[in-house]
C-alpha cells in the first residue's frame, strides 16, 4: 500500500542520515522481515546503499498461530558480525521475545553497535522491554498478515497488511 511505501521511504531516509558515513549491516529476521527489509534497502539513497550490506537470521517461535514461548535460532548469519554496526530488522514486535533473543544472539558476537528497526510495533503485548530505534507503525492488539507476515504460513505474500478476523487476543 502507499502508506507502507511512504513510511518505508521515511525510515530509509532516517537510517541513511543516522549512518551517514558509517558502514552498516542489516540483519533481517526470517521470514517476516524479508519483504520489509528488501523494500527498506531499495529505498535507501544510492550513496547510503553503497555502505549497507545485509544478511538474515532464522528463528522459530510459533506453532501454528500460537507462540511457543521459546525462540530458537534456526539459521545463523553468514556475515561476521564482529566489529560491525548492526541494524536488526523485523516485520513486527509484539511480546518482544523473538527480538530480545535475536538481540542477545547478535550481541554475543561483539558488534560495534546494535539497533533495531521494525515495521509494526504492538506495544500492548510487550512482555520484554525492548528499545526500538526505528518503528514504522504502532498497531493495536490484533493478528495481522501480509507484507511478509503470516498466519501459519498463509497470507505472507499479500501486498498490504490486514487483520485476521476474530484475531484480537484480549477476549
Q: What is the DSSP string of 115-133?
A: EEEEEEE-GGG--S----S
Mean pLDDT, residues 29-52 taken together = 92
What are 3's strand-pairing partners?
Answer: none
Taking residues 105-131, what's their average pLDDT? 93
Using CA atoms, how far residue 56 sits from 25, 79, 102, 106, 108, in Å, is 10, 9, 11, 11, 16
94 as an active site residue: the answer is yes
Q: By C-alpha distance, which of 88, 91, 102, 94 is closest to 60?
A: 102
Which parts of the chain fold into alpha helices (H)? 2-18, 34-43, 46-49, 97-107
Average pLDDT score over residue span 115-131: 91
- Percent of the chain clearing pLDDT 90 (strictly above): 60
Residue 66: what pLDDT?
Answer: 62
| The pLDDT value given to residue 171 | 39
pLDDT at residue 158, as a whole number = 72
Catalytic residue among 18, 39, 80, 94: 94
**φ, ψ at 77 (rounded to 5°):** -65, 150
Q: Which residue would you say has higher pLDDT here, 167 or 71? A: 71
| pLDDT at site 102 | 95
Q: How far apart are CA 50 and CA 63, in angstroms?
A: 39
For residue 14, pLDDT beyond 50: yes
SS3 state at 45: coil
To which residue does cell 558515513 refer? 21
**pLDDT, tens only, 45-83:** 988 888 999 999 999 875 555 666 778 888 999 999 999
Task: Please confirm whether the linkage preceding 31 is cis (ω < 30° from 0).
Answer: yes
CB crowding 43-65: b at 16 or more within 10 Å, else e: bbeeebeebbebbbbebebeeee
The confidence score (pLDDT) of residue 168 equals 47
Amino acid at each position: 500500500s502507499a502508506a507502507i511505501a511512504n513510511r518505508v521511504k521515511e525510515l530509509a531516509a532516517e537510517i541513511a542520515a543516522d549512518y551517514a558515513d558509517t558502514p552498516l549491516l542489516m540483519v533481517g529476521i526470517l521470514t517476516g522481515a524479508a519483504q520489509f527489509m528488501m523494500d527498506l534497502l531499495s529505498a535507501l539513497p544510492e550513496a547510503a546503499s553503497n555502505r549497507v550490506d545485509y544478511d538474515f537470521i532464522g528463528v522459530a517461535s510459533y506453532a501454528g498461530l500460537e507462540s511457543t514461548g521459546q525462540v530458537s535460532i534456526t539459521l545463523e548469519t553468514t556475515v561476521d558480525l564482529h566489529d560491525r554496526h548492526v541494524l536488526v530488522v523485523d516485520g513486527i514486535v509484539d511480546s518482544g521475545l523473538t527480538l530480545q533473543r535475536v538481540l542477545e544472539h547478535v550481541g554475543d558476537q561483539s558488534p560495534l553497535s546494535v539497533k533495531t528497526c521494525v515495521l509494526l510495533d504492538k506495544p500492548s503485548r510487550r512482555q520484554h522491554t525492548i528499545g526500538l530505534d526505528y518503528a514504522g507503525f504502532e498497531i493495536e492488539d490484533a493478528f495481522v498478515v501480509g507484507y511478509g507476515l503470516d498466519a501459519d504460513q498463509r497470507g505472507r505474500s499479500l501486498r498490504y497488511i490486514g487483520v485476521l478476523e476474530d484475531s484480537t487476543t484480549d477476549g
